[in-house]
Each structure stands twice: as structure tokens, then as C-alpha cells.
Amino acid sequence: MRIVVSRLDEFPPGERRIVQAGRRSIGVFRVGDKFYALNNHCPHQGGPLCLGATQPWVRSGGPGEYVLDESESLVACPWHGWEYDLATGQSFLGPGEPPARTYDVSVEVGAGEPRGGRMPGPYVAETFPVHVEDAYVVVDTSGGTRRTGTTRGER
């Protein structure tokens, strides 16, 4: 299924849109010139994941040092604050918790290693590819779960 989200010129950086595809709700985020799409269902306890606050990754080289990486973002579920990487859907809370529904996912280089000082948690949110066609932002749900290790947002 292909879902037209909006015209590109009507979807500025920093914005998000929630779209319905049948019974499925999908959050589409624009971070700079990259687009990300996540299932709007938190794997932790079913909250409206894509309504949560977004924030850039924080990287640290040592005590008292930090840098905001504006090119990548996390979304925090508004119910319990569980954070998920917009690009991969990986959670960073709840180690040892039983996993939510699983999807076919390929592993990025460095997956499972600490990322920005964070260890991946047991949950991975469902993600979808987003691209621009003739000045419209489009989500494609036909391929199922977005696989990690591919670059999202390339035109």
C-alpha cells in the first residue's frame, strides 16, 4: 500500500504527520531533509508512540563533554518515556524485558554496541520507508517492516 502524506513544500523540517492506513496509524517525521516513518504503537505498552517528544542524539567524549547530533533523532513515547531511534525503531530502555512482536530486520554495522552511551533495549518499533515523488512525501507499507542498514531519506 502506498500512502501520500503531503506535498513536500507543506512538510517543513522539524514537523511530523500522523496518517491512517486502514487500521494502522503511522507517524512520519522530517528531520532536516530526511524522512522517517514509525508505527504509531509503542511496543512497550501500546501508547501513541509518534505523539511523543523528539530529541537529537546526545554524544559524549567524556565527563562534562557533550554534542547534540541534530542529524539523528529519538522519539519518546508519551506514556512512559521509552525512547526509540527514528531511523531503526530500536528502543533504548528496558533491558531484560520480554520482546514485543518481532519483524524481519537486518542489523546495522555496530548494532548491539553502545550508541551514544546507550545500550539497545529489547523492543524495535515498526518503521516504513519514506520518499519524495513529484514534490509529495509518500510512505510505502507494502514491503512490511523497514529494514535497518539502508539509508532513509535519500532522493
Q: Domain coordinates of the chain in residue numbers?
A: 2-140
pLDDT tens readout for residues 57-95: 888 888 988 888 877 788 888 998 888 888 888 887 766
Q: Is the pTM of this model over 0.85?
A: no
Q: Which fold has domain 2-140?
A: Rieske Iron-sulfur Protein (2.102.10)
Q: Which one is predicted more confidently, 75 or 1?
A: 75
Q: Is the pLDDT of residue 36 over 70?
A: yes
DSSP 3-42: EEEEEGGGS-TT-EEEEEETTEEEEEEEETTEEEEEESS-
Local structure of residue 53 (DSSP, 8 states):
-
